[in-house]
Chain A
Amino acid sequence: MIWFEWKKIFERRLNAIAMVLGYVLIGICVCAWISDASFYDEATQTYIEGIDAVRQKQHVEAQTEILSEEYVTWLVTEIQSAGLDMESDEAYEKIIRPMGDIFMVVAKNYTDMREKVIDRNAVNEIDLTEGAHFYEQRMQKIIDYLNMDFSFGNYKEIEKEYWIQKAEETTIPFRWGNMEIMGMLWDLAAPGFYLVFVIAICVSSVFSSEHESGAAYLLLATKYGKNRLIWTKIAVSVLFAVGYLAVGILLGAGAIGVLLGFDGAGLPVQLWDSVIPYNLTAVQACVANFAVLILISVTLVLILLCCSAGLRSSLATLVIGFTILIAPGFFPMSKESGLWNHINYLFPIRVIDLKTMLGSYVSYAVGNHVISYVEMTVIVYTAVSIVVMLSIKKSFLRA
């Protein structure tokens, strides 16, 4: 039975085309990222592009192994001694470009958390009398943010304690290294999200095609038609979604690994944003991101199966699927309602932006418990999956 249900998904021409296009997209993205990589070689004063650029960048930007207070203090002293406006072209050529990513990591640490753009001149304003106090500044910045007044509601004391404790548990000082390759690996989640659309196309017809063709009546009159068949369809659809996504990600990650290696895998996620309170390495964060992507796709598959069984129309099911994926991107964040914002954060298109969300300090206070954003995402998507899964059978049997 499993084999035949599998065959039904794969032998539909639209599905086959969509699946191939999804993987082609992954290939295009990986190629584009690598070919877009550029590095300015100070020695020859030329830009290097592609694979060589990534390798050179890793080599040159390995200025230090540990982002220690002493190193940051020395670095900031060097920057301040130049006496340049960091937004100027001269500063870019003399300081920012040669230093590479480390300048941005340091500057971001001294930029207010509410700012969307890194304040490059914040580095010039650091008081170095007793050193740069890089990690102290990091904690202070987090505390300041948690104590701010927000129009949509402030953090509860329990949430503040939770986040401060979590931020303090982060391993410091940070190991330093180039995160270019890990950045590419992380960004695979974006084309991975497009694969979720492909999955939606493929599973939208799983039940509805039986209704549309009239075969549902035949199936429901068979011994296993009202039970085992339904669970088989669900299992095959979920396995298909997980498998298709996993293969796509492995293909992309494999291509990156073969061409560039996996340098930077053990570096902390705080090199993306120093305030991230999760004690994760880059590769762990990437795996977590892919796991969330798979969770989203499994939940979506179950929702679509329920629609497919109940609505009996592949097109209507597909429209619902695409709406769930796309529409929340247009939902604005509220200036008044914290509740709405907390709901809004949980839509797939926002969950997929986990890199931003890891450092966004979104939490859900339930009584005396604080649930982090990542935990809430897992809870909500798992709960929705279970509820919807139990409704599929009922919908299909309502023939």
Chain B
Amino acid sequence: MELVLDRVTKQYKNKIAVDRLSATLKEGVYGLLGANGAGKTTLMRMICGILGSSSGEIKLDGEEIGAMGERYRDLLGYLPQDFGYYPNFTAIEFMLYIASLKGLDRSYAKQQSRVLLQKVGLANEMRHKIKTFSGGMRQRLGIAQALLNDPGILVLDEPTAGLDPKERVRFRDMIAELGKERIVILSTHIVSDVEEIADWIYLMKQGQFIAQGTLEELREHYCSVTQSEEQKNFNLEKLYLYYFSEEEKCVKKF
């Protein structure tokens, strides 16, 4: 499976949210790192086919995703950022509702919902209404619904937001595991999340990738741009701060 972004652009009147982005994604975990307003969410919505591009194309195995329609969305699992849940639905009802939208057979949907709720630690709360859930529980439910159709492409927008440190560690492991056999794209502004699990990292600013690579490559990149020899002390946060605190350097591309 190969997802190709070819000079993808999204323009809203005078503002360019996503600016001529190109990337080729295969099985693995891809981390999108950037400040608020960098264009991460817009890009994710474009990858999910929710937003069309102003120019450029997104192709899956050579076929444009818009033309694929339902076939593409059938391969997709998406966790939007801060999305609303249906407060009067129970967790299992919510899962079954999303399963029906994903076209899953009812008996399979029931079974899969139970397995996933168990996996995210909500087995005991599956009959509870979502309005009684904490933010972390809702986020876990969101992750569970994204996995319902065993997606080939998993798009997670701020998946660890609202989770406590223990849950975050658990989910990092889960995402890393999922990335072995599918394309996982996750966006976050929590640097350590990306650092731990992403096979490939994109640093995004003003709609553009300002740096990208594996953690190792970014480390080398950091040392070369900062003329620093402290490779052992390198962490992604330093690179992030380098780009996002010094405006004049942000135009540099890796």
Residues of chain A at the chain B interface (Cβ within 8 Å): 1, 4, 7-8, 11-12, 210, 212-215, 217-229, 399
Q: Which of A212, A215, A226, A399 contacts B85 (CB 8 A)?
A: A215
Chain A residues with Cβ below 8 Å from B162 are: none
Chain B residues 35 to 76 lying within 8 A of chain A, measured CB to CB, are: 45, 48-51, 69-70, 73-74, 76
Q: How many A-B residue contacts, CB cutoff 8 Å?
A: 82
Assembled-state Cα–Cα distance A397/B53 (Å): 14
Sample 17 A-B pairs with CB under 8 A, ordered by A number. Answer: A4-B100, A214-B80, A214-B84, A215-B84, A217-B48, A217-B50, A221-B48, A221-B49, A221-B80, A221-B155, A222-B76, A223-B103, A223-B149, A224-B100, A226-B70, A226-B73, A399-B45
For residue B163, CB closer than 8 A to chain A, the reply is: no
Q: B70 contacts A224, CB within 8 Å? A: yes
Known interface pairs A4-B93, A217-B80, A399-B50; A223-B86 also in contact (CB < 8 Å) = no
Q: A213 contacts B84, CB within 8 Å? A: yes
The interface residues of chain B, by DSSP majority, are classed as loop
Q: Which of B51, B69, B101, B155 contacts A222 (CB 8 A)?
A: B101
CB distance from A275 to the nearest CB of B (A): 54
Known interface pairs A7-B89, A227-B70, A399-B50; A222-B98 also in contact (CB < 8 Å) = yes
Residues of chain B at the chain A interface (Cβ within 8 Å): 45, 48-51, 69-70, 73-74, 76, 78-86, 88-89, 93, 96-98, 100-103, 145, 149, 155
CB distance from A111 to the nearest CB of B (A): 58
CB distance from A396 to the nearest CB of B (A): 11
Q: A223 contacts B70, CB within 8 Å? A: yes
CB distance from A381 to the nearest CB of B (A): 31
Chain B residues with Cβ below 8 Å from A214 are: 80-84
Known interface pairs A212-B84, A213-B83, A399-B51; A218-B78 also in contact (CB < 8 Å) = yes
Q: B83 contacts A221, CB within 8 Å? A: no
Assembled-state Cα–Cα distance A215/B83 (Å): 5
Assembled-state Cα–Cα distance A222/B97 (Å): 11
Assembled-state Cα–Cα distance A155/B201 (Å): 77
Chain B residues with Cβ below 8 Å from A399 are: 45, 50-51
Chain A residues with Cβ below 8 Å from B49 are: 220-221
Q: B84 contacts A221, CB within 8 Å? A: no
Known interface pairs A1-B100, A4-B97, A215-B83; A221-B88 also in contact (CB < 8 Å) = no
Chain B residues with Cβ below 8 Å from A223 are: 70, 73-74, 101-103, 149
Assembled-state Cα–Cα distance A226/B100 (Å): 13
Q: A225 contacts B83, CB within 8 Å? A: no
Chain A residues with Cβ below 8 Å from B86 are: 8, 213, 215
Chain A residues with Cβ below 8 Å from B83 are: 213-215, 217-218
Which chain A residue has the least Cβ–Cβ distance from B82? A214
Which chain B residue has the least Cβ–Cβ distance from A10? B88
Known interface pairs A212-B84, A215-B83, A215-B85; A221-B73 also in contact (CB < 8 Å) = yes
Q: B51 contacts A1, CB within 8 Å? A: no
Q: B45 contacts A225, CB within 8 Å? A: no
CB distance from A137 to the nearest CB of B (A): 63
Assembled-state Cα–Cα distance A225/B98 (Å): 10
Most central of A1, A4, A214, A226 by chain B CB within 10 Å: A4
Chain A residues with Cβ below 8 Å from B84 are: 210, 212-215
16 further contact pairs, Cβ within 8 A, besides A218-B79, A226-B70: A1-B97, A1-B100, A7-B88, A213-B83, A215-B85, A217-B48, A217-B50, A218-B80, A220-B48, A221-B78, A222-B101, A223-B74, A224-B100, A224-B103, A229-B101, A399-B45
Most central of A7, A213, A217, A226 by chain B CB within 10 Å: A217
Most central of A212, A215, A218 by chain B CB within 10 Å: A218
Q: Which of B80, B101, B155 contacts A224 (CB 8 A)?
A: B101
Assembled-state Cα–Cα distance A14/B56 (Å): 45
Assembled-state Cα–Cα distance A11/B78 (Å): 26
Which chain A residue has the least Cβ–Cβ distance from B70? A223
Assembled-state Cα–Cα distance A210/B83 (Å): 9
Assembled-state Cα–Cα distance A226/B103 (Å): 13
Assembled-state Cα–Cα distance A11/B86 (Å): 10
Q: A225 contacts B101, CB within 8 Å? A: yes
Which chain B residue has the least Cβ–Cβ distance from A4? B97
Q: Which of A1, A12, A212 contacts B101 (CB 8 A)?
A: A1
Most central of B97, B102, B149 by chain A CB within 10 Å: B97
Top 7 nearest A-B pairs (CB, nearest first) are: A213-B84, A222-B101, A221-B78, A11-B88, A221-B48, A214-B83, A217-B80
